Copies of this chain bind each other. A is one copy, B any other.
Amino acid sequence: MSQRSLTVGMLGCGTVGSGVVQLLDEHADEITARLGCHLRMGPVAVRRLSLGRDVDVAGLTDDPRAVIDHPDTDIVVEVMGGIEPARSLISQALTAGKSVVTANKELVSTLGPELFALARAKGVRLEYEAAVAGGIPIIKPLRESLAGDRVRRVLGILNGTTNYVLTKMTEQGMELGEALAEAQRLGYAERDPSADIEGYDAAAKAAILASLAFDAEIVAGDVYREGITGVSSVDIAHARRMGYVIKLLAIAEDHDGDIGVRVHPSLIPASHPLASVRESFNAVFVQADAVGDLMFYGRGAGALPTASAVLGDVVDVARALLSGQRPTDGAPAKAKALRPVDDLTVQYYVLLDVTDEVGVLAEVATAFGHNQVSIKSVWQDGSGERAQLLLITHAARERDVQATLHDLRGLDHVRAVASVMRVEGGEV
């Protein structure tokens, strides 16, 4: 058995790909021992052959088809990123009967259903642990360990850049721009940070997690999304005084068979396990019927953590190949109804700039009550020109809260609705 060997062909060799080459080399002996088979790096396709590389790769080519079609290639790793040519190449590999491991969040979150259907039809595997939360094993636990349970809700801190920024704002009182500049300096944020800051990255990952947790076809475009650009250090300070921390949360919930998926800044209780996830770490908090609360915590990005997840999938696929396993994932994911945000029931934090006069609170409270939104707690802050009212509501229908906000904007004593954010991880 130990004489057998399997060959990994790779598409792309940037930081993650180089990490895969490095780990496969460094851990070759342990992998061989555990697998009972040698796992070797085969041909690797890169865009430009001339580029200098940190790792030693023998079979470099600029023709990705040569990797896929190579008779030695048993498993294809795709770490190019982006939609094309990754989509076509993965399709070609699957069609050729080769299992694929990808780290491509963008592709899986948009065209996952098409690719999974192809893998099923060809009786091969398409694995993507590295596409969500980097090195944290979450795909496999959701799919396999909780197979006999029923997931109700997934709350995730899925973007390291925004979590780093919010941590700096919380712990050092920085404003968003300052914290973001520091994140860019440290390499935690891109020069154009909009994919992170506006929540697109987290939304793509949320779609993948929701698809898996609820066995549903959900793509990134289905996810309701708000970024963190509206979060100020004032909000964070107010939240802290009331016992909350502000995080960019991805939330996927099962509402009696309808699925709601959204990404937005949220207040969570300071005692919630997600509240202590600091800096660029990621975490996924899962609530299931039988097992209760679970949390998975770790590095959500970075070359080696991501490469570790890719290699975990590769070893898994290799094990299946060795054992002659054919995938039996049963029926394809179902098209489930999406629950629009308007129909959700959520708690809210509302910050109002008000005139410092008698009767303000009565006027505001009436606007809430008129829309069937019940107030859980109120704080008055400042005076004169800087008078503010902070309110936390009980769980209420989103559309009722929106109607309340509309009414508040028309009140004599309300100068502005300074901030509005949902509260998660508590009641509901």
What is the minimal beta-carbon distance from A76 to any residue of chain B, in angstroms?
16
CB proximity to B under 8 Å, residues A309-341: 309-312, 314-316, 319-320, 322-331
Residues of chain A in range 183-240 having any CB-CB distance to chain B below 8 Å: 215
The reply on A117 being an interface residue by CB < 8 A is no
- Identify the stretch in A41-49, A64-72, A287-295, A408-416 within 8 Å (CB) of chain B at 4 or more residues: A287-295
Contact B290 A308 (CB under 8 A): yes
Asked if A255 is an interface residue, CB under 8 A from chain B, the answer is no
CB <8 Å contact, B215 and A33: yes
Closest to A321 in B: B328
Other-chain contact of A290, B292, B304, B315, B327 (Cβ < 8 Å): B304
Query: A298 touches which one: B136, B140, B295 (CB < 8 A)?
Result: B295
- Shortest distance between the CB of A109 and any CB in chain B (Å): 20
Interface size on A, residues (CB 8 A): 71
- Measured between C-beta atoms, what is the minimum distance from A197 to chain B in Å? 24
- Collect the chain B residues with CB atoms within 8 Å of residue A326's CB: 323-324
The docked-state distance in angstroms from the alpha carbon of A293 to that of B330 is 34
Cβ B148 vs Cβ A31 within 8 A: yes
Instruction: Check A137 against B146 for contact (C-beta < 8 Å).
Output: yes
Which residues of B have CB within 8 Å of A35? 147, 328, 330
A144–B304 Cα distance when bound, in Å, is: 17
| Residues of B with C-beta under 8 A to A288 | 308
- Say whether A145 contacts B309, CB under 8 Å: yes
Q: Report how far A26 CA is from B150 CA in the complex, Å.
A: 9
B315 touches A291 (CB 8 A): no
Known: A145-B140, A307-B290, A326-B323. A215 touches B312 (CB 8 A): no
A87 at the interface (CB under 8 A from B): no
Given A135-B294, A291-B309, the answer on whether A34 and B146 have CB atoms closer than 8 Å is no
Question: B31, B146, B305, B323: which contacts A291 (Cβ < 8 A)?
Answer: B305
Whether A147 contacts B31 in the complex (CB less than 8 A), given A23-B290, A298-B293, A308-B290, comes out as yes
- Say yes or no: is A141 at the interface (Cβ < 8 Å to chain B): yes
A129 to B293, CA, bound (A): 17
Given A144-B315, A290-B305, 15 extra CB contacts under 8 A:
A24-B148, A27-B149, A32-B330, A33-B331, A137-B137, A137-B140, A137-B141, A137-B144, A140-B145, A145-B309, A148-B308, A148-B311, A271-B278, A294-B297, A324-B325
Q: Which residues of chain A have a CB within 8 Å of any CB of chain B?
A: 1-2, 19, 23-24, 26-27, 30-37, 129, 135-137, 140-141, 144-150, 215, 271, 273, 276-278, 281, 288-299, 302, 304-305, 307-312, 314-316, 319-320, 322-331
